[in-house]
Amino acid sequence: VGDLLQTISVATQQAVEEAQGQVDGVDADRAARHAALAAAQDALPTLQAAVAARQDIEAAAKATLSEANGKAAVATEAESSGKFSYDEAAAQVAELLAALEALAALKGASADSSKEGKAQHKQLAHVSHKYALDTTLVEAVLKVLRKEPDALQSFDVVSLGIFEESLSKLLKDFEERLQLHKAPQAEKAAAARAATEAAEAAEGACGESEAAVKAAKEAERDGAQAIKAAQKHVGKWLHDTKVVMDGFDAKKQALESFRERPLKLFDELKELQPEPEPVEEVETEMPPAADAALVPAVAEGDAPASAAA
């Protein structure tokens, strides 16, 4: 019981000492809470400035994106219009080449001799009308092309020659036009690609700036919340200190009560405990001298009859 009471006393004393340490640290705790509040308040302007700076970067990025999109639209439109002119000239060159091939084929066979010949004859009529060739010449040539090659007269051959020269001249003009469009069109295509890439890069930068603004605002919100939490922590100091001191008083009182009652009563009980009685010593009697003759026999292992009984 005494050991148990001593153990309880030591544990209670340790609890009191720990509570005393907490009481001794209340001033330092108050200073730490105010320091944390001051640090949070000092950090907020920096966070707000970071938000403003990133918003300026975002605004500049959006302006750059708008300008880049405008340039890309203009360059793409220029490429499209130039491409139309280039493609149109290329189509005209291809059409005139096909007409010359059809004319060469019809020189060797009448247009009426085959389905393909009739299609070629119709093709030459369409090209002649489209490019406004001499009407009299075209009518004469279309009639000549319906004749068999061996039935052609000198005028027919001359008419075919003039018609072929007209088509060849048109072809040369459109080929020159195509060459004139080729270099500018390549430049317009390159400009359109560059403008599109610049717009894509500006869009990426704009996205990055938006993300940076979002992160800065989140940091600003966290900073404001840190101030509120620090202010609340400072406001709770008095309450927390009371809890610490009340706990210390309670533990100190418990220790004093324990010492005044259980330990004191135990000490009083120990004083009332009676002293142990003295132990009486028992003397061993030696055997009579008359029986001394029996001792050697006992030592040798021959027990007397009375002992055996």
Question: Which residues lie below 8 Å from residue 297, measured CB to CB, with a gap of 6+?
Answer: 303, 304
Task: Report which residue type is found at 228.
Answer: K
Rounded Cα–Cα distance for residues 86 and 80 (Å): 10
Question: Model confidence over 124-155: pLDDT tens digits?
Answer: 999 999 989 999 999 999 999 988 888 889 99
Question: Which residues lie below 8 Å from residue 82, measured CB to CB, with a gap of 6+?
Answer: 181, 184, 185, 188
- CA 152 vs CA 103, 107, 124, 136: distances in Å: 15, 10, 19, 18
pLDDT at 269: 64
Rounded Cα–Cα distance for residues 257 and 184 (Å): 105
Rounded Cα–Cα distance for residues 83 and 267 (Å): 114
**Of 34, 17, 69, 53, which Cα lies nearest the Cα of 230?**
34
Question: Model confidence over 224-267: pLDDT tens digits?
Answer: 999 999 999 999 988 988 888 888 888 878 777 766 666 666 66
Question: Model confidence over 167-176: pLDDT tens digits?
Answer: 999 999 888 8
Q: Using DSSP, state whether 287 is helix, strand or coil.
A: coil
pLDDT at 273: 58
Task: Report which residue type is found at 49.
Answer: A
Residue the block writes with tokens 């403003």: 52
pLDDT band at 1 (very low <50, low <70, confident <90, very high): low
Under 8 Å between Cβ of 223 and 40: yes
Question: Model confidence over 185-209: pLDDT tens digits?
Answer: 788 888 889 999 999 999 999 999 9
**Of 258, 105, 120, 93, which Cα lies nearest the Cα of 182?**
93
Question: Model confidence over 212-225: pLDDT tens digits?
Answer: 999 999 999 999 99
Backbone angles phi, psi at 132, to 5 degrees: 55, 50
**Of 131, 101, 137, which Cα lies nearest the Cα of 116?**
101
Q: DSSP label at 262?
A: I
Pull the structure tokens for residue 157.
């051959």
Rounded Cα–Cα distance for residues 237 and 232 (Å): 9
pLDDT band at 285 (very low <50, low <70, confident <90, very high): low
**Of 47, 45, 58, which Cα lies nearest the Cα of 212?**
58
Rounded Cα–Cα distance for residues 109 and 44 (Å): 94
Question: Which residues lie below 8 Å from residue 227, measured CB to CB, with a gap of 6+?
Answer: 37, 40, 41, 44
Residue the block writes with tokens 């010449």: 137
Question: Model confidence over 40-93: pLDDT tens digits?
Answer: 999 999 999 999 999 999 999 999 999 999 998 988 887 776 665 777 778 888
Pull the structure tokens for residue 274.
């009676």
Q: Is the dihedral of CA 100, 104, 109, 114 positive or negative?
A: negative
- CA 294 vs CA 126, 170, 285, 298, 308: distances in Å: 167, 167, 16, 6, 13
Pull the structure tokens for residue 135.
């009407």
